[in-house]
Amino acid sequence: MRINDRIRVREVRVIDETGAQLGIMAPQDAIRIARSKGLDLVEVSATAVPPVCRITDYGRYQYNEQKRARQARKHQKTIEVKEIKFRPKVDEHDYDFKKKHIERFLTEGDKVKATVFFRGREIAHPEIGRRILERLILEITELANAENTPRLEGNTMHVILGPKPQLAQQRRERPAAAAASVKTDMRDVNDLASDRAEPDDAQPDERPPTTPAAPTE
């Protein structure tokens, strides 16, 4: 990012510190305006024609840009690729157990590499591994898209499974829904506490008035 005298082009489009357009001018003229205000001329779009520059406090501009980048990284989920391994002679219980793990990884937004390992003479029957992976793809089709067909590489066959877009959308909406639920619960608790704090309407005393005793002589 270039600032002030490092901006060496014939002309620039200038935006002032309030966001107002000052038009197209020579960089020297824009720098003169910026310095008269105790600010800097910062190039914010070098690829535009002409380049776009903003009059601003460069230190504060850098701080705000770094803050925005941190916020973007904070809300960005790093997609991991989890690997689940099968054997050609996998039994039904083990298959179901591993399939549940794959479904959990997908709902959490991660990709899954499902791999079948062949040992010794098992490699002579790759169709067994292909049947396992094709069955898996079919059974989790509501959760995942297969990014490739089952592929044999050396003594392994694998397929990459990625979560469907609607899963990612549901995952983004879940925290907002949870926060709204917490707010509703807090309102209910506060209303209940308010109701308990208010006394019931006083009931009128319906007992007959007491007749004063006659004085004794």
> What pLDDT digit, counting tens, does each position of 37-54 carry?
999 999 999 999 999 999
SS3 content of the chain, % helix, strand, coil (to 5): 45, 20, 35
- The predicted model scores a pTM of 0.47
Which residues, in sequence order, are CB contacts of 173 under 8 Å at separation 6+?
A: none
Cis peptide before 209 (omega within 30 of 0): no
Separation of alpha carbons 46 and 9, rounded Å: 10
Cα torsion through 8, 9, 13, 16, rounded to 10:
10
Q: What is the mean pLDDT of residues 172-192?
A: 54
- What confidence category does residue 10 fall into, taking pLDDT thresholds of 50, 70 and 90? very high
Separation of alpha carbons 122 and 119, rounded Å: 5
DSSP assignments along 22-36, one per residue: EEEE-HHHHHHHHHH
User: Does position 7 have pLDDT exceeding 70, yes or no?
Assistant: yes
Residue 188 to residues 38, 114, 180, 194, Cα–Cα distance (Å): 54, 47, 12, 10
Separation of alpha carbons 109 and 168, rounded Å: 6
User: Domain map of the chain by residue range?
Assistant: 4-61, 81-166
**C-alpha closest to that of 1 among 67, 78, 61:** 61
Choose the CATH number for 4-61 among 3.40.1380.20, 3.40.50.720, 3.10.20.80, 1.10.760.10.
3.10.20.80
**C-alpha closest to that of 48 among 7, 19, 17:** 7
pLDDT for 72: 80
Query: In the CATH scheme, what is the code of domain 81-166?
Result: 3.30.110.10
**Summary mean pLDDT of the chain:** 83
pLDDT for 217: 43
> What pLDDT digit, counting tens, does each position of 65-107 carry?
898 888 887 766 677 899 999 999 999 999 999 999 999 999 9
Residue 34 · residue 74 · CB < 8 Å: no
